[in-house]
Amino acid sequence: MATRNQKVQSYFHRSAADFDRLYNKNGYLSTIFNTLFRKALYKRTDETIKELKNSNCKSVLDVGCGTGVNAIQFIYNGCETVTGVDYAEGMIALAKQQTPQEVTSKINYIAADFMNWECNKKFDAVVALGVFDYLDEPRKFLDKMYGFAQKRVMFSVPGKGNLRQFVRKVRYNLRNCPLYFYSRNELSQLLEYPDCSFTLRGIGSSGFLCVIDKTK
Whole-angstrom Cα distance, residue 89 to residue 77?
26
Average the pLDDT over 158-163 and give the result: 74
Considering only residues 70 and 28, tell me which one the structure prediction assigns the higher pLDDT. 70
Give 33's pLDDT tier (boundaries 50, 70, 90): very low
pLDDT confidence of residue 37: 47
Determine the 3-state secondary structure of 53 from DSSP: helix
Q: When comparing pLDDT for 9 and 118, which is higher?
A: 118
Residue 192 has pLDDT above 50, yes or no: yes
User: Which of the four pLDDT bands, split at 50, 70 and 90, describes residue 31?
Assistant: very low
Q: What angle do CA 173, 27, 96 make, to 5 degrees?
A: 65
Q: Which domains does the chain have, with CATH numbers?
A: 4-213 (3.40.50.150)
> How high is the pLDDT of residue 215?
76
For residue range 78-103, list pLDDT tens digits in order.
999 999 999 989 899 999 999 999 99
Does the pTM surpass 0.75? The reply is: yes
C-beta separation of 159 from 207 below 8 A: yes
- Confidence class for position 206, pLDDT limits 50, 70, 90: low
Encode pLDDT of 122-145 as tens digits: 999 999 998 998 898 999 999 999
Mean pLDDT of the chain, nearest integer = 83
Report helix angle 69-76 to 39-54, nearest 10: 40
Q: What is the mean pLDDT of residues 115-126?
A: 96
Written as one string, the DSSP assignment of 116-164 is G---S--EEEEEESS-GGG-S-HHHHHHHHHHHEEEEEEEEEEBSS-HH
